Chains A and B, each alone.
Chain A
Amino acid sequence: METGLPARPGSGSGVGRWGRVPRAEGAVPAVAMGSEPGGCALRPFSCELGPLGRPDGSAAFLQGDTSVLAGLYGPAEVKGSRELYDQATLEVLLKPKVGLPGVFEKSREQLIRRTCEAVILGTLHPRTSVTIVLQVVSDAGSLLACCLNAACMGLMDAGLPMKSLFCGVTCALDADGALSLDPTAKQEKEARALLTFAISSVERRVLMSTTKGTCSVEELQRCIAAAQRAADAVFRFYRDSIHRKYSKA
């Protein structure tokens, strides 16, 4: 079981830590993100594959200080009324850090569920159920993107057949229209608009989009382009971590 150590926030150099993409402000990025206007670099992220023993697949994904734990059960037995004769039934449960899940979590669950339904080859497992349980361990901004990443890594760990991979990227637009990716909680509060996208690994298509606040059409296109570029780094990270997992075994 490969363990990725969580990166300490603010630490500039990360020699020997795999899957790190340090912030571009001042530091030389380990993986060249290109000269993006306005600090378009992701926070250092890391992942642990298979930390939980009982679920069929599990992953812990950390983005800066935001951390989400995903557990996957599937393909498993499905209750009679929810059975679909030709494909697998997907269920997503999002557990907030504090309190009971409410309407907000329900709407997030629907977003994640429909994103996963678009990529999982459910027709290979008819009359079964796939359950994804996401537990928020800590929330320091970009929570939905972290949930999506954790879900995708969990799906890979469980070995479920997928059409493509997906990753979550959050963009924040401040009052001047400056774009920043993977915002912290403070940046999110000060932002005029927050856009979260799920980008597919095939042609970098937009699988899921949800916005908060208002933005112009041109700003939306800029954010999509920036998110598609940032997705490259995340997909490289996925490949590296799976490579590591299977090279050890």
Chain B
Amino acid sequence: MGQLQRGGSGPDNKPLRREEPLLRAPGPHSAPCRETSAPPGQHPPKGQMGEEGARKCVPPGTGSRSRRGGSGTMAAGFKTVEPLEYYRRFLKENCRPDGRELGEFRTTTVNIGSITTADGSALVKLGNTTVICGIKAEFAEPPAESSNKGYIVPNVDLSPLCSSRFRPGPPGEEAQAASQFIADVIENSEIIMKEDLCIANGKLAWVLYCDLICLDYDGNILDACTFALLAALKNVQLPTVTINEETGLAEVNLKQTNPLNIRKHPVATSFAVFDDTILIVDPTAEEEDLATGTVTIVMDEEGRLCSVNKPGGSGLTAAKLQDCITRAVTRHKEVKQLIDKVIKSVK
């Protein structure tokens, strides 16, 4: 049965309000954004598990005279005509249009075990970005060159359902790159040893088909997919299989199931680079379109880097990369806390 858990809880288990991000971005500590009534277009994601009213930012200098309807239409018009300039006005005040600080993540929610027909499943929401991961286990013969290993086959599906930027048909470049990224994370981090998936050396092994389907695309797909995969793998229950000595056939006992041995917990943190200098964490789809580059850092619990994925974009100095890594370490703790809470609540 699935359990709905809210992410971002403070140390005393109270739901964390927007005004208290877990890590402030390095910058002026004062709350820079003013409270005002914003037009509907600027509302943060609606209906998110009963959010308290969050502050909204209005760029300074636009509509300063009237704080009601007038400022709203002016800001919306400015946003359409000059999206990058509009965004820069917020960045100058060290905040973003949806009210977040530069180093703040969107509300993370995870729901485990919702797909009963799958062997393991998880639904992750990062703000509006929604990814569901379903894992099915099937039998296969181990590969010839390593007869004691099974297979893990990830596949990321970005369909027109999640965003109009994707067309129907064979997977596009972004979906293929994301699938390759997830496969690399699995291999680099050794989240599961493929030897654990072997049932009989050379004869039978498990294949775990991990299907990650994006239901709603609002940026930061890699973080959501990695998190969904991790949560789903923790949820997987594999039936015990014994090989009958006489017939040589496999006997599956569905009543006796074992969880997978998850060795490492890789967590991805994505950043967007603006104007070659400013780094923001957890970009939305709009922010990704305006950004000049992206970086994704995957860390495990020992502080080891499983992946530093920077596919082109504006150049970063080694010092800026170090800042990203520091934030990634904190994010790992947040996510690990959330996952542990969910797993405990399911048991």
In A197-238, which residues have CB < 8 Å from any B CB?
A: 198, 200, 202-203, 205-217, 220-221, 224-225, 228
Given the known inter-chain contacts A107-B177, A202-B315, A212-B188, please indicate yes or no for A217 contacting B306, CB distance below 8 A.
Answer: no
CB distance from A106 to the nearest CB of B (A): 4
B156-181 interface code vs A (CB 8 A; 1 in, 0 out): 00000000000000000110110111
Which of A164, A195, A203 sits near B308, CB closer than 8 Å? A195
* Chain B hits for A104, CB < 8 A: 180
Question: Which chain A residues (84-139) contact chain B, with CB distance < 8 Å?
Answer: 103-104, 106-107, 109-118
Tell me if B303 and A209 are in contact (CB < 8 A). no
Residues of B within 8 A of A117 (CB): 312-313
A224-B318 CB under 8 A given contacts A109-B173, A211-B188, A216-B303: yes
Contact assessment for A113 and B312 in the assembled complex, using a CB-CB cutoff below 8 Å = yes
Q: Of A164, A195, A208, which contacts B311 at CB under 8 A?
A: A208
- Partner of A214 from B177, B188, B325 at Cβ < 8 Å: B188
Q: How far is the CA of A206 from the CA of B309 in the complex (A)?
A: 11
Q: Is the CB of B313 within 8 A of A207?
A: yes
* Beta-carbon contact of B309 and A118 below 8 Å: no
Assembly CA distance A59 to B308 (angstroms): 29
| Cα distance, A126 to B300, chains bound together (Å) | 43
Chain A residue with minimal CB distance to B329? A217
Give the contacting residue for A207; candidates B190, B304, B315, B325; CB below 8 A. Answer: B315
Q: Are A106 and B173 in contact (CB under 8 A)?
A: yes
Q: Return chain A residues, CB-CB under 8 Å to B190.
A: 214
Which A residues lie within 8 Å of B189 (CB)?
A: 214
Task: Kindly list chain A residues whose C-beta atoms are within 8 Å of the C-beta of B180.
Answer: 103-104, 106-107
Residues of B contacting A115 with CB < 8 Å? 311-312
A203 CA to B321 CA in the complex, in Å?
15
With an 8 A cutoff between CB atoms, is B337 at the interface? no
Return chain A residues, CB-CB under 8 Å to B293: 114, 118
Taking A107-B177, A221-B322 as contacts, is the C-beta distance between A210 and B310 under 8 angstroms?
Answer: yes
* B residues 136-195 in Cβ contact with A at 8 Å: 173-174, 176-177, 179-181, 184, 187-190
- B312/A206 in contact, CB under 8 A: no
Collect the chain A residues with CB atoms within 8 Å of residue B314's CB: 118, 205, 207
Minimal beta-carbon separation of B318 from chain A (angstroms): 5
**How long is the Cα–Cα vector from A112 to B179 in the complex, in angstroms?**
17
Q: Is the CB of A211 within 8 A of B311?
A: no
* Cβ–Cβ contact B303 & A114, under 8 A: no
Q: Could you tell me if A205 and B316 are in contact, using CB atoms closer than 8 angstroms?
A: yes
If A116-B312, A207-B313, A215-B304 touch, whether A110 touches B173 (CB-CB below 8 Å) is yes
Q: How far is the CA of A195 from the CA of B321 in the complex (A)?
A: 14
Tell me, in angstroms, the Cα distance from A109 to B293 when the chains sit together.
Answer: 16
Q: Give CA–CA (A90, B146) in the complex, Å.
A: 40
Please tell me if the beta carbons of A208 and B310 are within 8 angstroms of each other in the complex: yes
List residues of chain B with CB within 8 A of the CB of A195: 308
**With A106-B177, A114-B311, A118-B293 as contacts: A221 and B318 at CB distance below 8 Å:** yes
Task: Give the CA-CA distance A83 to B173 in the complex, in Å.
Answer: 17
Q: How far is the CB of B313 from chain A (nearest CB, A)?
A: 5
For A206, give the chain B residue with the smallest CB separation: B316
Q: In the complex the two chains form, is A203's CB within 8 Å of B317's CB?
A: yes
Q: B177 touching A211 by the CB < 8 A rule?
A: no
Residue among A116, A224, A228 with max Cβ neighbours from chain B (10 Å)? A224
Q: Which chain A residues border B318 with CB–CB below 8 Å?
A: 206, 221, 224-225, 228
Answer whether residue B237 sits at the interface, using C-beta atoms and an 8 A cutoff.
no
CA distance A248 to B10 in the complex (A): 69
Given A104-B180, A107-B180, A217-B325, are A206 and B310 also a contact pair (CB < 8 Å)?
A: yes
Q: CA A164 – CA B306 in complex, angstroms?
A: 30
A118 touching B312, Cβ below 8 Å = yes
- Cα distance A217–B303 when bound, in Å? 8
Tell me if A106 and B312 are in contact (CB < 8 A). no
User: With A and B bound together, what is the CA distance between A116 and B176 in angstroms?
Assistant: 19
Q: Are B312 and A114 in contact (CB under 8 A)?
A: yes
Instruction: Determine if B313 and A206 form an interchain contact, defined as CB atoms under 8 angstroms apart.
Output: no
Q: Is B200 an interface residue (CB 8 A)?
A: no
* CA A41 to CA B311, docked complex, whole Å: 25
* Structural contact, B312 and A214, CB atoms closer than 8 A: no
Distance in angstroms between the alpha carbons of A115 and B315 in the assembled complex = 9
| Complex interface bits, B272-307 against A, C-beta within 8 A gives 1, otherwise 0 | 000000000000000000001101000010011111
- Per the bound structure, the CA–CA distance linking A200 and B316 in Å amounts to 10
B316 CB contacts on chain A under 8 angstroms = 205-206
5 nearest interchain CB pairs? A114-B312, A205-B315, A107-B180, A115-B312, A209-B310
Show 11 A/B contacts (Cβ-Cβ < 8 Å), sorted by A. Answer: A103-B179, A107-B181, A111-B311, A118-B292, A198-B312, A203-B315, A203-B317, A206-B317, A211-B306, A214-B188, A214-B189
